[in-house]
């Protein structure tokens, strides 16, 4: 849906965002200041900033956290995220296509996917360890398992919503059965698949702490977990903010991709 | 895929044959009989024009021949084989344009020419691929699997034919209704199918563009021997293009009038005396169909 | 001291709390017997006893801060943290549920014969737990620097899985995973050994200070039920194990075995100088907590250890003495 | 997308499903039997079945788990799920509509939602306890926070994809600005919102163990955690299966709703 | 909402007035000038027929009057007020039917009659709501806010008018192309707007149904004084319905022919001698427009 009279004031948007962020920080500062909740739970912006400086290695007085700088923690987590999401998204698209296109697989695989996507990661973490050890693999697998279902569900549903006439048209134009998924279904379903990917990346993010329960340092999730157990809430909040900001960044990328790749949304 | 595809077409054989065909939809809890007891055939190289009141089942009939719908009763044969699925031997122009929104106009038209389809299309392609003639197009056109340059030339010619050369890079949602319809026609013509199924292809066009494209279609048909199935609301169009004209009754659609015509073979069908007579006969049949 | 439960209501009387909210954990000690037998409910007829299960001392700390529970169970590490800045939780320790004994231990793969031989190996333990503390204490005692080996943060089920695969060479962990590891490994150090060296770890009771001040009689009753449970473990092991087994969903045999690995102290033992101590003479537990805090400070997990006096005043020795 | 020649053999589907389930159990049994992994990680179907009988209270020899029967655990969790999902879905739809419809809110609220939906629940669990105590509220909140984002994202994206002409048509027919969301946008976006809800329910399910970390008995998640602590993997697997089966049930309901409410998918 | 809505319409005033209107789209990285320098007015109660080659900007023009698009240049006034948004005073039939797929045919037609809209519609409603006459419909029809029974009666009459009474419970995707278009016409007529904007409303209909609906539309227009803006490819239709006929040139659309006509006021416009003359003039203009 587009505004009937579109008017894009990027400057205004940036201003609004800035105001919103400034407002949020101000509220945070006030809440921390008023000590409505104990400082262990709501640390002040100042102490979080201080932790940022200390752990990022930007100032001399800190040497990171648990032997790694903030950047190293973040990078380690992002690397896992990237691999896990890549496999999860790829697998989700393939599974979703199979389920959406092949009735037999919908009957058999559909329930399997639904079953698997309800399973709580905390319950099967030890299985991942026994299968994949304690290094990168179990973390990547967990992130994969978190990212896959939203994409699979969105893809399967999107496939069912592809106008049958597109498929008929393509078949009449000589596209073989094997080409339909890639040449018709995937592009036609792209908008909803991209929505599914956006959801999936978010879900993967929420799983990063659980994934880094297993030998998770370096890693932002491991850092958060560690800090939380020692009630170093300023570090926890620092980690949360970093996660959120990087999440914002990737979501913005995905939304950009969505706008570029599926410009016909709301107009076709 | 009908096996005949790879053998030369026997000119006299029926390209399309329907025997006792009926179709019943189920909607809002009741059966809607769209078509009933249709017996119909089109000789290879013939042009069938189907006329009838709105909602009588013309699109349904076309979709069954295209392989999009299975008849509830009867048999649908195309080139002697029962239709079970859509195929590249049958080019379709839908009543709504149904262009692929993720492709540009050029991309849509080129869709049926992509190399990967080559093997399937070659035999059918030999038929209706030439568009030269009245439109000033020339050359016998290669299809899927042909060199890129050849494919590009073919797309360019089709773009010229339907007058969309200057908007080739636009996406379908950036076109006007008539432009979309023209793009859909070009897309269906591209692979040169043996049988063209057209569902009111010129409805959204102004009178002149419409007439020009009718002329082009007739020229193409005469040159290539492509069989045509044309659904139309225009009695003129039916008389101009149909070597056989069928009038369906209101729902449930049954054939209430059928006639053969040689007008499409004439040099200037619209100028023939028979043209007006045919028009009148069809119009009367349609009038009977509605009431 | 095995008082008639009926004595308690007389003491708390009409001034008793409307409800007593207890945070418990699934650890085979007297608390589960009290819960299973319903002694508290019987001894405090005017009070609604609400039992809430927790998974870690950290969660108990949080719940106390949130004011969601009155009495809870937490390990000595979380309590040492809770009493230090920034938490500064206003709670006191009126009871030691158990001193960790053979139920937490350092197990290693065969072929490793001493703590010193762990240099360069991978050892797993759940971070921030009593086991973590004990592991580091054992390493310090053996003179192995922390940087000399790789200490990995894993939860017990994951430790078992990693051990199974051979990804780790050893682990400091508690039962039942410990029992599984012991089958194929070798125990180098147990927490009982470390307790003997002054590095005691324990599961402690914590009570909100204002609750303690407002309802001393209820706390007294609570202490007496705990004492009664400890005594039951000595007088009727089978009954105690049955109760615990029911709470842990374990067979009585298994429960008995696990119970035996812990050191349970009755009221008079708790008042000993090694533990909580007496009014005016706080016991060594305070030093223990203090050294744990200092240790955490060295680990940069605390910004600074509070004075020993903070821990001494946090031992609810008066309540303990009143219950005697 | 519909099959060109639809043929629904419900019996065959049921047979296929049954065969798939039987096959899965057989593989499980074989794996457990072969002891590729120790029984602590892969308990046999038999012992899980035994635990089911014992904890469900169906046989005399068991009196449930931790004082509650299996049914009570399941019911407690499902109740939390139902409330959390109801609020999460409701809130997600409202937020999604606001973000999708009001450009200013898209600018300001959009990033907030994205930020929040990346946050790992394990990191803010203690805040929930501080704010909402240890009873039902923090669990319901956690489930709500898990269920809301997928719905909000799907709704906002679906709103953007609503053909502008529908809105124009409605406005020309006299619908006021205030009616557009309910009369046009919501029904037009319904298919994708329902997909979002399906994803959301799955995500909420995966969170149930984390939600029941604190004072989680009765509750299937709490039961799983307890059992895990004492290596009673058969109970863990039993809990996982129950979660998965109830997830399958609710997903089937949602898919049925999807088919009934949005029959035009793939045909309009 | 223009304030005039609640005051009686001045018969002689311009219902629609465009001054210097242009529209430029941006697509595939370049500007597409769809319309340029359009000056145009329609008196209240008049009927403007717009004819022109495919892609010349007819739909664009209509969408600007409807308030869906803002002109890149110039001003669009409806009933004296500048258009800023769509409104219930302007009923629109889109080139593609655009029925709400989640509502049945009946639900689509009833959409504009729902009680909640009552206040907005009452004044405009008094205008075009009566459909009685040629079709045998009777009664002055209430609009939004009127009792349920009255609304239902109105929907039933509209269903009859467009011949969809027997498929009222079907969903749009269960209709044929022509049936969808008829449902869209009924939907737009339902609230009785003062101004009707019709984009090739009869393109998908067979000749007879088309003629019948042309007759109905003219009857409604004469009876209620509704202003009409009709985009059409049919020169006949333009001559039959237009009190003013405008021919646009190919892109960029500019007015190249404009004439007033009294044919629509005649009893049998198609039988008038002037009819053929008008047709011929328009056809010539269109021919000039294309070339
Ligand atoms: N998907 C469907 N479900 C139910 N009924 C349908 C469906 N498609 C078409 N019909 C019904 O079948 C009948 C014939 O439809 P069809 O589209 O073939 O008509 P048509 O002759 O092409 O009409 P038009 O000229 O208006 O396009 C109509 O009455 C319509 O209501
Ligand atoms: N959304 C859009 N983006 C870019 N260009 C557009 C868009 N819509 C229309 N155009 C261009 O504007 C021109 C006029 O389009 P319009 O739809 O107004 O034509 P029309 O006169 O209604 O044609 P038709 O008779 O074929 O419906 C066309 O050349 C088309 O390519
Ligand atoms: Mg049709
Ligand atoms: Mg148009």
Which two three-digit tokens encode residue E122?
């009452």
Partnered with residue E48 across adjacent β-strands are E229, E244
Neighbours of A46 (CB within 10 A): 12
**Residue A53 in contact with residue D141, Cβ under 8 Å?**
no
| Chain D residues in contact with B84 (beta carbon < 8 A) | 5
Ligand that comes closest to the CA of residue B248: 1
pLDDT of residue D39: 81
Strand ranges inside chain B, DSSP E? 14-27, 30-43, 47-51, 73-78, 81-82, 90-93, 195-199, 227-231, 244-248, 255-260
- The Cα C235–Cα C241 span in angstroms is 12
pLDDT of residue B291: 63
In angstroms, the separation between the Cα of residue E211 and the nearest Cα of chain A is 31
pLDDT greater than 60 at residue C99: yes
Angle at CA D231, nearest 5°, toward D230 and D234?
120
pLDDT greater than 80 at residue B139: no
Span between the terminal Cα atoms of chain A, in Å: 11
The 10s digit of each residue's pLDDT in E172-194 is: 999 999 999 999 999 999 999 99
Residue B144 vs residue C27, higher pLDDT: C27
Q: Across the interface, do D230 and C157 touch by the CB < 8 Å criterion? A: no
Q: Listing from the earlier edge strand, what are the strands of the sheet with E90-93?
A: E90-93, E195-199, E227-231, E47-51, E244-248, E255-260
| Chain A residues in contact with B111 (beta carbon < 8 A) | 170, 173, 175, 183
Residue E157 vs residue D7, higher pLDDT: E157
Handedness of CA D6, D7, D10, D16 (dihedral sign): negative
Query: CA nearest A140: which of A209, A72, A87?
Result: A87
pLDDT greater than 60 at residue B120: no
The 10s digit of each residue's pLDDT in A155-175 is: 999 999 999 999 999 999 999
The 10s digit of each residue's pLDDT in D58-69 is: 776 567 788 889
At a CB cut-off of 8 Å and minimum separation 6, what does D175 contact?
D183, D184, E111, E117
Q: Which band of pLDDT confidence, cut at 50, 70 and 90, is reported for residue C208?
A: very high
B25 touches chain A (CB under 8 A): no
Of D112, D118, D161, the CB nearest to A265: D161
B64 touches chain A (CB under 8 A): no
What's the mean per-residue pLDDT of chain E? 85
For tokens 């049998």, the residue is E268
The stretch B150-175 carries a mean pLDDT of 93
Query: CA nearest A120: which of D214, C177, D236?
Result: D236
Q: Across the interface, do E86 and D168 touch by the CB < 8 Å criterion? A: yes
The 10s digit of each residue's pLDDT in C232-261 is: 999 999 999 999 998 888 889 999 999 999
pLDDT of residue B119: 38
pLDDT of residue C102: 94
Distances (CA, A) of D115 to A201, A223, A248, A252, D128: 12, 19, 6, 11, 17
For tokens 């329930």, the residue is A111
Find which of E35, E172, E177 to mutate to test the B interface (most B CBs within 10 Å of its CB). Answer: E177
Distances (CA, A) of B239 to A256, B45, B268, E182: 53, 17, 12, 26
B69 touches chain D (CB under 8 A): yes
Of D65, D130, D222, the CB nearest to C66: D130
The stretch B171-178 carries a mean pLDDT of 94
For tokens 């939600």, the residue is D211
Identify the chains in contact with C, defined as 3+ C-beta pairs within 8 A. A, D
CA A115 from centroid of its chain's CA atoms: 21
Which H helix or E strand runs over B180? helix B177-189
At a CB cut-off of 8 Å and minimum separation 6, what does E236 contact?
E270, E279
Of D172, D176, D262, the CB nearest to E91: D172
- Contact call for B and D: 3+ CB–CB distances under 8 Å: yes
Alpha helices in chain E (DSSP H): 58-66, 105-110, 118-128, 148-161, 177-189, 207-224, 235-241, 273-290
Least confident of B77-86, E27-36, E78-87: E27-36
Fold of the domain built from segment(s) A49-261: MetI-like fold (1.10.3720)
CA of B23 to the centre of ligand 1 (A): 10
The 10s digit of each residue's pLDDT in D107-124 is: 888 888 999 899 998 888
Which two three-digit tokens encode residue D66?
């931790």
The stretch A237-260 carries a mean pLDDT of 92
- The Cα B215–Cα B220 span in angstroms is 9
Flag whether the pTM goes above 0.95: no
Q: Is A180 helix (H, G, I), strand (E, B) or coil?
A: helix
- The Cα B15–Cα B9 span in angstroms is 9
Query: CA nearest D175: which of E82, E98, E126, E144?
Result: E144
> Among B31, B55, B64, which is best to mutate for testing ligand 1, by the most ligand atoms less than 8 A from CB?
B55
List the domain boundaries for chain A. Answer: 1-36, 49-261
In angstroms, the separation between the Cα of residue A127 and the nearest Cα of chain C is 7
pLDDT of residue E145: 53
- Cα nearest neighbour of A130 on chain C: C161
Neighbours of D18 (CB within 10 A): 10
The 10s digit of each residue's pLDDT in B218-247 is: 999 999 999 999 999 999 999 999 999 999
pLDDT greater than 60 at residue C264: yes
- The Cα C252–Cα C242 span in angstroms is 5
D253 touches chain A (CB under 8 A): no
| Chain D residues in contact with B70 (beta carbon < 8 A) | 4-5
In residues, how long is chain E? 291
At a CB cut-off of 8 Å and minimum separation 6, what does C108 contact?
C118, C121, C123, C169, C170, C185, C186, C188
> Among E21, E29, E53, E56, which is best to mutate for testing ligand 2, by the most ligand atoms less than 8 A from CB?
E56
| Chain C residues in contact with A125 (beta carbon < 8 A) | 155, 157-158
| Chain D residues in contact with A138 (beta carbon < 8 A) | none
A166 touches chain B (CB under 8 A): yes
Q: What is the dihedral of CA D219, D221, D226, D231, to 10 degrees?
A: 140
E69 touches chain A (CB under 8 A): yes
In percent, the amount of chain A with pLDDT more than 90 equals 56
Report CA Rg, chain C. 20
E127 touches chain D (CB under 8 A): no
Q: Which band of pLDDT confidence, cut at 50, 70 and 90, is reported for residue B135?
A: very low
Q: Which band of pLDDT confidence, cut at 50, 70 and 90, is reported for residue D126?
A: confident
At a CB cut-off of 8 Å and minimum separation 6, what does B193 contact?
A172, B88, B89, B90, B91, B124, B127, B128, B226
CA atoms within 13 A on the CB side of C94: 29
In percent, the amount of chain E with pLDDT more than 70 equals 84
- The Cα C263–Cα A49 span in angstroms is 45
The stretch B60-83 carries a mean pLDDT of 95
Q: Across the interface, do B102 and A164 touch by the CB < 8 Å criterion? A: no
- The Cα C190–Cα C179 span in angstroms is 12
- Cα nearest neighbour of D127 on chain A: A41
Q: Across the interface, do A160 and D265 touch by the CB < 8 Å criterion? A: yes
The 10s digit of each residue's pLDDT in A173-228 is: 999 999 999 999 999 999 999 999 999 999 999 999 999 988 888 999 999 988 88
Which two three-digit tokens encode residue A202?
């978010």
Which two three-digit tokens encode residue A60?
């001399």
Q: Across the interface, do E171 and D263 touch by the CB < 8 Å criterion? A: yes
The stretch B55-66 carries a mean pLDDT of 95
Which two three-digit tokens encode residue A175?
């596209």
- The Cα C228–Cα D62 span in angstroms is 28
Q: Which band of pLDDT confidence, cut at 50, 70 and 90, is reported for residue E287?
A: confident
What's the maximum distance between 2 C-alpha atoms anywhere in chain C?
Answer: 64
Which two three-digit tokens encode residue C109?
């793969």
Which H helix or E strand runs over A125? helix A121-132
Exposure b/e, E210-223, CB count within 10 A at least 16 = b: bbbbbbbbbbbbee
Query: CA nearest B93: which of B133, B47, B62, B126?
Result: B62
CA of E120 to the centre of ligand 2 (A): 32
> Among E170, E175, E182, E185, which is best to mutate for testing ligand 1, by the most ligand atoms less than 8 A from CB?
E175
pLDDT of residue B228: 96
Would you tell me which residues 53-72 of chain A have a C-beta closer than 8 angstroms to some C-beta of chain D?
none
In percent, the amount of chain D with pLDDT more than 90 equals 59
Q: Listing from the earlier edge strand, what are the strands of the sheet with C104-108?
A: C150-153, C122-125, C170-174, C104-108, C186-190
Partnered with residue E77 across adjacent β-strands are E17, E82
Which two three-digit tokens encode residue A165?
């006439």
CA of B170 to the centre of ligand 2 (A): 11
The stretch C85-97 carries a mean pLDDT of 93
The stretch A79-83 carries a mean pLDDT of 96
As for ligand 2, residues whose beta carbon falls within 6 Å of it are B 167, 173-179, 204; E 25, 27, 32, 34, 52, 54-60, 95, 251
pLDDT of residue E146: 61
Ligand that comes closest to the CA of residue A267: 2
Angle at CA E241, nearest 5°, toward E235 and E243?
105
- The Cα D100–Cα C214 span in angstroms is 54
The 10s digit of each residue's pLDDT in C1-27 is: 333 344 344 444 446 899 999 999 999
Helices and strands, number each (H, E), in chain E: 8, 10
Residue C158 vs residue E1, higher pLDDT: C158
CA of C155 to the centre of ligand 2 (A): 64
The 10s digit of each residue's pLDDT in E216-249 is: 999 999 999 999 999 999 999 999 999 999 999 9
pLDDT greater than 70 at residue C226: yes
Phi/psi of residue A42, nearest 5 degrees: -125, 85
The stretch A132-148 carries a mean pLDDT of 94
Domains of chain B with CATH codes:
99-193 (3.40.50.300)
- The Cα B160–Cα B178 span in angstroms is 15
| Residues in chain E whose Cβ is within 8 Å of chain B | 25, 27-28, 32, 51-55, 58-59, 95-96, 104, 167, 169-171, 174-179, 182, 199-200, 203-210, 233-235, 283, 286-287, 290
Which two three-digit tokens encode residue B4?
């005949």
Least confident of A11-25, B176-190, C73-87, E55-69: A11-25
Angle at CA E231, nearest 5°, toward E70 and E206?
140
pLDDT greater than 90 at residue A232: no
């Amino acid at each position: 849906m587009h505004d009937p009279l579109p008017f894009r004031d990027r400057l205004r948007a940036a201003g609004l965002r800035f105001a919103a962020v400034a407002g949020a920080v101000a509220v945070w500062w006030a809440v921390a200041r008023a000590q409505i909740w104990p400082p262990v739970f709501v640390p002040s912006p100042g102490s979080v900033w201080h932790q940022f400086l200390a752990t990022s290695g930007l100032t001399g007085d800190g040497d990171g956290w648990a032997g790694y700088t903030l950047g190293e923690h973040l990078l380690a987590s992002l690397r896992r995220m990237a691999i896990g999401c890549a496999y999860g998204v790829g697998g989700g698209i393939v599974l979703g296509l199979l389920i959406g296109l092949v009735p037999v697989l919908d009957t058999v695989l559909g329930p399997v996917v639904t079953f698997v996507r309800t399973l709580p990661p905390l319950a099967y973490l030890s299985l991942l360890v026994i299968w994949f050890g304690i290094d990168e693999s179990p973390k990547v697998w967990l992130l994969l398992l978190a990212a896959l279902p939203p994409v699979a569900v969105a893809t399967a549903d999107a496939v069912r919503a592809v106008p049958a006439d597109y498929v008929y048209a393509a078949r009449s134009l000589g596209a073989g059965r094997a080409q339909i998924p890639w040449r018709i279904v995937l592009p036609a379903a792209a908008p909803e698949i991209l929505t599914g990917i956006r959801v999936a990346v978010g879900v993967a993010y929420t799983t990063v702490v659980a994934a880094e329960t297993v030998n998770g340092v370096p890693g932002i999730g491991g850092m958060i977990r560690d800090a939380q157990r020692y009630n170093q809430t300023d570090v926890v909040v620092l980690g949360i903010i970093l996660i959120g900001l990087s999440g914002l960044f990737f979501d913005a990328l995905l939304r950009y991709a969505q706008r570029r790749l599926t410009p016909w949304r709301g107009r076709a | 895929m009908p096996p005949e595809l790879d053998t030369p077409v026997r000119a006299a054989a029926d390209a399309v044959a329907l025997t006792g065909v009926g179709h019943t939809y189920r909607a809002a809890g009741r059966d809607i009989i769209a078509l009933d007891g249709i017996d119909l055939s089109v000789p290879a190289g013939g042009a069938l024009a189907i006329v009838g009141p709105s909602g009588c089942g013309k699109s349904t009939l076309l979709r069954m021949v295209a392989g999009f719908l299975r008849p509830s009763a009867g048999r649908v044969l195309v080139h002697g084989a029962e239709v079970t699925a859509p195929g590249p031997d049958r080019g379709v122009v839908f009543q709504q344009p149904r262009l692929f929104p993720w492709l540009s106009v050029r991309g849509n038209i080129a869709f049926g020419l992509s190399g990967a389809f080559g093997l399937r299309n070659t035999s059918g392609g030999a038929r209706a691929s030439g568009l030269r003639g009245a439109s000033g197009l020339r050359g016998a056109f290669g299809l899927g699997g042909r060199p890129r340059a050849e494919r590009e030339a073919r797309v360019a010619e089709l773009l010229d034919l339907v007058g969309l050369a200057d908007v080739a890079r636009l996406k379908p949602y950036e076109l006007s209704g008539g432009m979309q319809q023209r793009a859909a026609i070009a897309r269906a013509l591209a692979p040169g199918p043996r049988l063209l199924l057209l569902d009111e292809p010129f409805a959204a066009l102004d009178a002149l563009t419409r007439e020009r494209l009718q002329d082009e279609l007739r020229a193409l048909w005469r040159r290539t021997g492509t069989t045509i199935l044309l659904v139309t609301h225009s009695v003129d169009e039916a008389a101009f293009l149909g070597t056989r004209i069928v009038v369906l009754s209101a729902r449930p659609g049954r054939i209430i009038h059928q006639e053969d015509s040689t007008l499409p073979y004439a040099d200037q069908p619209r100028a023939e005396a028979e043209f007006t007579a045919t028009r009148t006969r069809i119009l009367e049949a349609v009038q009977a169909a509605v009431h | 001291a095995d008082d008639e439960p009926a004595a308690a209501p007389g003491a708390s009387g009409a001034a008793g709390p409307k409800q007593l909210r207890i945070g418990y954990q699934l650890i085979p000690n007297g608390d589960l017997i009290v819960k299973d037998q319903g002694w508290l409910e019987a001894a405090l007829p005017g009070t609604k006893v609400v039992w809430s299960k927790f998974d870690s001392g950290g969660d108990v700390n949080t719940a106390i801060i949130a004011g969601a529970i009155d009495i809870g169970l937490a390990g000595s590490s979380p309590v040492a943290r809770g009493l230090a800045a920034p938490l500064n939780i206003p709670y006191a320790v009126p009871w030691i549920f158990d001193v960790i004994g053979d139920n937490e231990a350092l197990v290693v793969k065969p072929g490793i014969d001493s703590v010193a031989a762990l240099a360069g190996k991978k050892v797993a333990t759940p971070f921030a737990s009593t086991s973590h503390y004990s592991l580091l204490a054992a390493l310090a005692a053996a003179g192995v620097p922390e940087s000399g080996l790789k200490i990995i943060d894993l939860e017990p089920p994951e430790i078992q899985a990693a051990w199974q695969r051979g990804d780790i060479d050893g682990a400091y962990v508690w039962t039942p995973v410990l029992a599984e590891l012991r089958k194929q490994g070798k125990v180098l150090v147990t927490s009982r050994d470390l307790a003997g060296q002054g590095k005691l770890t324990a599961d402690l009771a914590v009570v909100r200070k204002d609750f303690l001040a407002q309802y001393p009689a209820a706390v007294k009753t609570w202490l007496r039920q705990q004492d009664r449970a400890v005594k039951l473990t000595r007088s009727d092991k089978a009954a105690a194990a049955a109760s615990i087994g029911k709470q842990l969903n374990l067979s009585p045999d298994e429960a008995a075995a696990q119970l035996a690995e812990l050191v349970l102290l009755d009221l008079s033992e708790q008042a000993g100088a090694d533990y909580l101590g007496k009014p005016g003479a706080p016991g060594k537990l305070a030093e223990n907590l203090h050294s744990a805090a200092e240790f955490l400070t060295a680990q940069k997990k605390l910004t600074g250890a509070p004075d020993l006096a903070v821990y001494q005043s946090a031992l609810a020795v008066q309540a303990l003495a009143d219950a005697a």
